[in-house]
């Protein structure tokens, strides 16, 4: 999506449609075309080197054979036939989709609420920006550190359990808090909510306040304003945030490993296992399949909301 | 191959070669000058300029060893510590990136046939006779039973200089000189476990539901799992180090059932994870490595490396020479290997709770009390210090598992790589997802 959009921008800049071409360009139409190609070239080269070629390499390697310590150039379908027939794959994808769905619902709910508060309840721009910057403070540390910090907090003898025990709310430590699906989704929500807040906040700030006044004048309740005016106008922001959250969760492996205590698995974690066991072709096949699934998901989202039209 | 090597060693290689030329003239003088600090070879002078690149796992790639080596022999050793997966990978895929490979014997079984290592001439190894017989005949004492798995002696020798097929008997060509080895067992928190732990099956005891852990490195985890299943009497194995598909299926079924019943709190993959799980009390019984137990204890938390009736799962590593080594560098490498076996390193490793290859030489560098504690299973007379001077055990302590003979004489199985390795890894992954 973003590369596509970026190329579009550059192309538009290079070919000023509708404006009269400069005299030199008019006399030498080839020069005009050449110049625009030249303008597109840096980005095209970068994308080709760092995106297209690596992905093609992954696709090629996914057809290779491997044994314990070697990968052997070949064209075999073993990697895919195991991938598509194994019960493990299904389990992995169901698990990963479950995390993605839960993380998406929760980040969307929290993200929308936070953005709504910032955009409509905080009146002064200074305070809006201050609070917005405040939201980004956790990003000053690495996301692994932020994740690991949960472990001593949620553990069997962790702070939360000690607090609950001493308050007499539970009579034995709650074990589901750590090394569980709960812990994994918690970490995802903690890590990725900001990716929802930012684009939704951006959309909300663009909403013409007159529309809301009109809705109120027409007798809409606050809830109706949110549901019928704010929400539809935030769709592009929600779509962009959703793309961030869903793609990040679908490709994650470290959160699942650390917060799941190695007992839970996701597609990304399976891939990382395969890489560590030198099964690059199998990992490549996994990556191709995951890429296809995620692209389909993104395409579906883009179909529901035309992000570019509504921006 | 040669050209590649030159390219890789780069500037350093050139200056080295230039040095060799001038050194050849000085060669006679060097012989005349005789012993240089106890390591008399004709190359002793120029060896000082040699740099050898060694890589391996963190357990034995210790900077202290490189520093001492520089001091004693003049040879510079550049150490690179990697995790075991990366070690195997590098040994095979980047043969020119190292001069000395510090690998485990089961990795050797796969790496040596790839032709990236060269065997060493036994007659150039000064302390060959002192090497513990486990690495030559597989038997600690003449009447020992050879353990299952990839026993080091089965991959310790090849037929000839250019051979890549392993010899059944000791030959003149050794693949690795053993560095460190040990027997692994379960670690427990004696303060949180009330009843005695005696067998591998206790890992799945119902008292420890939600408080057990197993390591998630398939090739090693499967062995611990097999020890448990055999102890439970649920599976019998012809060779735990080389299981059939049926045996793998049965083993994983037992583990999967336990996992679904909530037996395991977590699976660990790194040393630090195992220490944290145990120290935080999330886990009270788990597969563990000896220095991890020491690390938990150093936090003032009770932790026992519990000897079990069925015996230990053993592992061992060694140093191998890269194929591209030749001339002065090869001589320096032999010099290094001989220095390695000459005792100082052995004592250093023994003091960390591992075992070294040549016990006699190591003994000279240890006090009688240290030797008694680490090797003979005697109570410590004074505080036992780690190599960097920290108190590891108080006076009066006795080592878990007793003497060297007691531990290494009870090896049930060696770490190994199976013929059905790929199948096993798939099954292991299914178990993790289950």
Size of interface A-B (CB pairs under 8 A): 72
Q: What letter does residue B158 receive in the DSSP assignment?
A: B
Helix axes B271-279, B290-298, angle to 10 degrees: 40
Q: How many CB atoms lie within 10 A of CB A42?
A: 10
Q: Which pLDDT score, from 0 to 100, does residue B145 have?
A: 84
Residue B296 and residue A146: Cα distance in Å, rounded? 24
- Averaged confidence pLDDT in chain B: 86
Report yes or no: A39 and A14 within 8 Å, Cβ to Cβ.
Answer: yes
What string of DSSP letters covers B91-147? HHH-GGG-SEEEEEHHHHHHHGGGT-EE-EEGGG-TTGGGB-GGGTTS-SSTTPPPP
In a domain, B322, yes or no: no
Structural domains of chain B, count: 3
Q: Give yes or no for a contact between A182 and A150, defined as CB atoms under 8 angstroms apart.
A: no
B319 inside domain: no
Query: What confidence score (pLDDT) does residue B101 get?
Result: 94
Q: Are residues B172 and B236 in the same domain?
A: no
Q: Is residue B315 part of a domain?
A: no
Coil, strand or helix at B228: helix
Cβ atoms of B181 and B355 closer than 8 Å: yes
Angle at A201 between CA A199 and CA A204, to 5 degrees: 110
- A97 SS3 class: helix
| Same domain, residue pair B145 and B76 | yes
Task: Give the pair of three-digit tokens for residue B392.
Answer: 């590891």
Answer yes or no: do B343 and B419 share one domain: no
pTM, 2 dp: 0.78
Question: What is the SS3 assignment for B378?
Answer: coil
Give the whole-angstrom CA distance, residue A262 versus residue B286: 14
pLDDT in tens, B130-188: 999 999 988 888 888 888 999 999 999 999 998 888 998 999 999 999 989 999 999 99
Q: What is the DSSP-derived secondary structure letter of residue B157? A: B
Cα–Cα distance for residue pair B311/B407, rounded to 1 Å? 8
* Residue B173 bridge partners (DSSP): B121
| Position B317 in a domain | no
Percentage of chain B lying above the pLDDT 70 cut = 89
Enclosing H/E stretch for B212? strand B212-215
* Gap between the Cα atoms of B357 and B340, Å rounded: 10
Q: Determine the Cα–Cα distance for residues B377 and A222; give it in Å rounded to an integer.
A: 78
- CB-based contact A284:A79 (threshold 8 Å): yes
This complex has an ipTM of: 0.74
pLDDT digits (tens, 9 = 90+) for B13-24: 444 444 444 444
pLDDT the model gives residue A6 = 41
Please name the residues between 235 and 264 in chain A that touch chain B, using a CB distance below 8 Å: 257, 261-263
Pairwise CA distance, residues B225 & B94, whole Å: 33
* Cα A205 from Cα A202, distance rounded (Å): 5
Cα–Cα distances in Å, from A181 out to A84, A243, B66, B212?
A: 25, 22, 45, 18
Please name the residue of chain A whose CA is at the shortest distance from the CA of residue B264: A263
Q: Which two tokens stand for residue B154?
A: 């089965």
Residue spans per domain, chain A = 1-61, 82-310
The answer to whether residue A172 neighbours chain B at the CB level (below 8 Å) is no
pLDDT at B88 over 70: yes
Residue B215 reports pLDDT greater than 50:
yes
Task: Judge if B306 and B357 occupy the same domain.
Answer: no
B344 and B274 in a single domain? The answer is no
Let me know if residue B193 belongs to a domain: yes
Indicate if B155 and B139 belong to the same structural domain. yes
Examine the domain organization and report whether B351 and B377 are in the same domain: no
C-alpha angle with apex B217: B215 to B222, nearest 5 degrees?
Answer: 80
A157 touches B at CB < 8 Å: yes
Residues B195 and B114 in one domain: no
Q: For residue B220, is it within any domain?
A: yes
The CATH number of whichever domain residue B25 belongs to comes to 3.40.190.10
Gap from B276 CA to chain A (nearest CA, Å): 10
Q: Is residue B57 part of a domain?
A: yes
pLDDT, residue A25, reads: 54
Q: Please report the pLDDT score of residue B286 as a whole number.
A: 95
DSSP H helical ranges for chain A: 2-14, 23-27, 29-47, 53-61, 78-85, 87-116, 125-136, 143-148, 150-154, 159-166, 181-206, 209-217, 222-225, 231-251, 254-259, 267-276, 280-304, 307-310
| Minimum-distance CB partner of B266 among A67, A263, A279 | A263
Read off the pLDDT of each residue in B96-124 and give the average, rounded to a whole number: 91
Q: Do B266 and A70 touch (CB under 8 A)?
A: no
The chain B residue lying nearest A83, using CA atoms, is B426
pLDDT at B366 over 60: yes
Are B264 and A92 a contacting pair at CB < 8 A? Answer: no
| B164 and B15 part of one domain | yes
Taking an 8 Å cut-off on Cβ atoms, the answer to whether A263 and B259 are in contact is yes
Q: B220 and B109 share a domain? A: no
Homologous superfamily of the A82-310 domain (CATH): MetI-like (1.10.3720.10)
List the structure tokens of B381.
């007379």
- Pair B333, B374 in one domain: no
| Tens-digit pLDDT string for chain A (311 aa) | 344 444 444 444 444 444 555 555 556 667 677 888 899 999 999 999 999 999 999 999 999 988 766 778 999 998 899 889 888 889 899 999 999 999 999 999 999 999 999 999 998 999 999 998 888 888 888 888 999 899 999 998 899 999 999 999 999 899 899 999 999 999 999 999 999 999 999 999 999 999 999 999 999 999 999 999 999 999 999 999 999 999 999 999 999 999 999 888 899 998 988 887 778 899 999 999 999 999 999 999 988 887 776 55
Region B292-319: what's the mean pLDDT? 91
Determine the pLDDT at residue B164. Answer: 86
**pLDDT of res. B67:** 93
Chain A positions touching B216 (Cβ under 8 A) are 262
Residue B85 lies in a domain: yes
* Structure-block tokens of residue B132: 């513990």
Question: What residues make up the domain containing B291?
Answer: 186-310+404-433
The verdict on B84 and B147 lying in the same domain is yes
């Amino acid at each position: 999506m973003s590369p596509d959009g970026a190329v579009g921008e550059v192309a538009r800049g290079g070919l000023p449609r509708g404006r009269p071409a400069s005299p030199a360009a008019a006399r030498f139409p080839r020069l005009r075309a050449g110049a625009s190609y030249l303008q597109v070239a840096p980005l095209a080269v970068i994308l080709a080197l760092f995106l297209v070629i690596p992905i093609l390499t992954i696709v090629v390697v996914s057809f290779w054979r491997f044994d314990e310590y070697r990968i052997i150039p070949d064209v075999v379908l073993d990697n895919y036939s195991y991938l598509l027939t194994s019960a493990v794959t299904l389990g992995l994808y169901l698990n990963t989709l479950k995390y993605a769905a839960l993380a998406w619902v929760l980040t969307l709910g929290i993200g929308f609420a936070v953005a709504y508060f910032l955009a409509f309840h905080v009146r002064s721009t200074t305070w809006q920006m201050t609070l917005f910057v405040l939201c980004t403070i956790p990003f000053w540390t690495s996301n692994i550190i932020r994740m690991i910090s949960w472990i001593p907090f949620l553990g069997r003898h962790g702070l939360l359990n000690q607090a609950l025990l001493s308050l007499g709310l539970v009579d034995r430590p709650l074990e589901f808090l750590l090394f569980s699906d709960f812990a994994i989704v918690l970490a995802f929500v903690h890590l990725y909510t900001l990716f929802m807040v930012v684009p939704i906040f951006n959309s909300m700030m663009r909403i013409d306040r007159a529309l809301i006044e009109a809705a109120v004048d027409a007798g809409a309740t606050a809830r109706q304003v949110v549901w019928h005016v704010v929400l539809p106008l935030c769709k592009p922001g929600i779509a962009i945030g959703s793309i961030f959250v869903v793609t990040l969760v679908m490709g994650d492996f470290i959160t699942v490993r650390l917060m799941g205590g190695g007992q839970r698995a996701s597609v990304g974690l399976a891939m990382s296992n395969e890489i560590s066991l030198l099964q690059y072709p199998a990992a490549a096949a996994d990556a191709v399949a995951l890429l296809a699934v995620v692209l389909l998901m993104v395409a579906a989202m883009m179909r529901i909301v035309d992000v570019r039209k509504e921006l | 191959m040669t050209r590649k090597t030159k390219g890789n060693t780069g500037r350093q290689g050139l200056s080295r070669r230039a040095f060799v030329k001038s050194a050849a003239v000085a060669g006679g003088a060097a012989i005349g000058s005789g012993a240089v600090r106890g390591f008399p070879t004709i190359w002793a002078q120029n060896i000082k300029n040699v740099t050898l690149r060694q890589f391996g796992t963190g357990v034995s790639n210790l900077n202290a060893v490189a520093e001492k080596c520089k001091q004693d022999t003049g040879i510079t050793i550049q150490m690179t510590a990697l995790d075991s997966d990366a070690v195997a990978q590098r040994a095979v895929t980047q043969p020119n990136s190292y001069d000395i490979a510090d690998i485990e014997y089961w990795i050797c079984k796969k790496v040596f046939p790839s032709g990236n290592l060269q065997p060493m001439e036994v007659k150039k190894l000064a302390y060959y006779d002192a090497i513990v017989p486990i690495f030559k005949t597989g038997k600690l004492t003449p009447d020992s039973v050879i353990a299952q798995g990839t026993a080091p002696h089965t991959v310790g020798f090849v037929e000839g200089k250019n051979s890549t097929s392993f010899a059944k008997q000791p030959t003149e060509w050794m693949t690795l000189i053993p560095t460190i080895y040990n027997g692994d067992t379960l670690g427990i928190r004696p303060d949180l476990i009330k009843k005695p732990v005696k067998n591998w099956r206790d890992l799945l005891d119902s008292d420890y539901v939600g408080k057990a852990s197993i390591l998630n490195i398939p090739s090693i985890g499967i062995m611990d799992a097999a020890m448990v299943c055999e102890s439970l009497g649920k599976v019998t194995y012809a060779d735990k180090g080389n299981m059939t598909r049926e045996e793998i299926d049965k083993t994983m079924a037992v583990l999967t059932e336990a996992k679904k019943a909530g037996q395991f709190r977590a699976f660990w993959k790194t040393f630090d994870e195992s220490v944290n799980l145990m120290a935080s009390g999330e886990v009270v019984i788990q597969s563990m490595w000896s220095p991890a137990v020491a690390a938990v204890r150093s936090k003032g938390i009770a932790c026992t490396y519990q000897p079990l009736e069925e015996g230990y799962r053993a592992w061992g590593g060694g140093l191998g020479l890269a194929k591209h080594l030749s001339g002065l560098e090869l001589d320096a490498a032999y010099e290094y290997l001989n220095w390695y076996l000459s005792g100082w390193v052995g004592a250093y490793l023994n003091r960390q709770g591992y075992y070294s290859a040549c016990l006699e030489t190591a003994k000279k560098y240890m006090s009688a009390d240290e030797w008694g504690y680490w090797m003979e299973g005697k109570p410590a007379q004074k505080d036992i210090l780690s190599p960097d001077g920290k108190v590891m055990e108080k006076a009066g302590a006795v080592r878990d598992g007793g003497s060297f003979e007691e531990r290494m004489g009870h090896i049930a199985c060696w770490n190994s790589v199976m013929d059905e390795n790929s199948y096993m890894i798939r099954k292991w992954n299914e178990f993790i997802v289950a």
